[in-house]
């Protein structure tokens, strides 16, 4: 299994470098860092057949080409909407591709270049992007009155949010964009996207700690960084919100 994974990763690297993908360097880095391994392990071999008027002459994409195409366009979508991420963009995108939920569309056989699939990809990319943010809010609102006040002040009732509803996804997505632009180029912006439970697991594995101790350490980190996030938000939101309209 390990040899097959390494071989498939190498094939995907070659596809990335041999084709004209706009985000090839970042895709190559994600492959090299093994960020995309969980996807690669379950890639099938089904080709994506294209319409006769497609610019791709052979008329189809292999499963690996389709995978890289969707990853490339997902990065492009994030880069366009979150143009202000600054020096922490690569770390944030790596976090987004590490989410274990709401990523099924990455295996889709819908061709990105077919305009009929635009609503499908728009919704699913947004849902993926807010996954860590949403999960973090569920954790942090149990211990932080400041974050609860933040949500209440923005008319967000977390327990009623349904990520299967496009309207709810859009509300959280736009709110995340506002928080992120207010924290552009600040280290704390990573904590809008870095999923709490994943961080707990990393600390537990890295330092050989038990689950409770790892969670305690992470909570301190996240609360400290979110205090900075909120400070920047309240200072800058009025001036920057107009940029996102």
Report the pLDDT value the prediction gives residue 242, as an integer from 0 to 100: 80
Which H/E stretch holds residue 54? none
Mean local confidence (pLDDT), 173-196: 96
Please state the length of the chain.
245
Report the pLDDT value the prediction gives residue 56, as an integer from 0 to 100: 72
Report the pLDDT value the prediction gives residue 163, as an integer from 0 to 100: 97
For 133-160, write each residue's pLDDT tens digit. Answer: 999 999 999 999 999 999 999 999 999 9
The DSSP code sequence of 85-111 is -GGGHHHHHHHHHT-SSS-GGGG----
Half-sphere exposure of 21 (CA within 13 A, CB side): 26
**Residue 5 near residue 37, CB atoms below 8 Å:** yes
CA nearest neighbour of 99 among 81, 66, 74, 68: 74
Q: Name the token pair of 190.
A: 């990573």
Report the pLDDT value the prediction gives residue 50, as an integer from 0 to 100: 85
Q: Alpha-carbon distance 204 to 198, whole Å?
A: 10
Report the pLDDT value the prediction gives residue 84, as an integer from 0 to 100: 93
Taking residue 68's Cβ as centre, other Cβ atoms within 10 Å add up to 23
Question: What is the residue-averaged pLDDT of the chain?
Answer: 93
**Which residue matches tokens 């492959």?**
31
Report the pLDDT value the prediction gives residue 59, as an integer from 0 to 100: 82
Q: Is the pLDDT of residue 57 over 80?
A: no
Q: Name the token pair of 44.
A: 């099938």
The rounded radius of gyration (Å) of the Cα atoms in the chain is 19
CA angle 204, 172, 158 (to 5 degrees): 70
Q: Name the token pair of 1.
A: 């299994």
Q: Is the pLDDT of residue 176 over 80?
A: yes
Q: Name the token pair of 171.
A: 């509300």
For 72-119, write each residue's pLDDT tens digit. Answer: 999 999 999 999 999 999 999 999 999 999 999 999 999 998 899 999
Helix, strand or coil, per DSSP, at residue 142: coil
In angstroms, how far is CA 173 from the centroid of its own chain?
11
CA nearest neighbour of 22 among 69, 54, 78, 60: 69
Which H/E stretch holds residue 49? strand 48-49
For 22-39, write each residue's pLDDT tens digit. Answer: 999 999 999 999 999 999
Mean local confidence (pLDDT), 194-212: 91
Q: Is the pLDDT of residue 53 over 60?
A: no
């Amino acid at each position: 299994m390990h040899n097959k994974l390494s071989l498939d990763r190498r094939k995907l690297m070659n596809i990335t470098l041999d084709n004209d993908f706009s985000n090839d360097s970042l895709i190559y880095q994600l492959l090299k860092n093994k960020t995309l391994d969980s996807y690669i392990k379950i890639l099938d071999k089904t080709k994506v057949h294209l319409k006769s008027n497609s610019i791709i002459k052979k008329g189809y994409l292999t499963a690996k080409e389709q995978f890289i195409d969707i990853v490339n366009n997902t990065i492009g979508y994030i880069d366009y909407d979150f143009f202000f991420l600054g020096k922490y963009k690569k770390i944030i995108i790596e976090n987004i591709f590490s989410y274990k939920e709401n990523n099924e569309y990455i295996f889709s056989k819908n061709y990105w270049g077919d305009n009929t699939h635009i609503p499908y990809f728009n919704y699913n990319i947004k849902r993926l992007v807010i996954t860590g943010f949403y999960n973090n809010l569920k954790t942090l609102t149990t211990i932080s009155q400041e974050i609860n006040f933040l949500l209440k002040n923005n008319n967000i009732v977390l327990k009623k949010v349904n990520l299967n509803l496009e309207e709810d996804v859009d509300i959280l997505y736009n709110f995340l964009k506002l928080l992120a632009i207010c924290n552009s180029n600040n280290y704390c912006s990573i904590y809008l996207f870095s999923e709490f439970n994943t961080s707990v697991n990393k600390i537990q594995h890295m330092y050989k700690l038990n689950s409770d101790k790892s969670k305690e350490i992470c909570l301190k980190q996240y609360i400290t960084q979110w205090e900075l996030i909120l400070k920047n938000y309240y200072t800058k939101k009025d001036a920057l919100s107009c940029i996102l309209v």
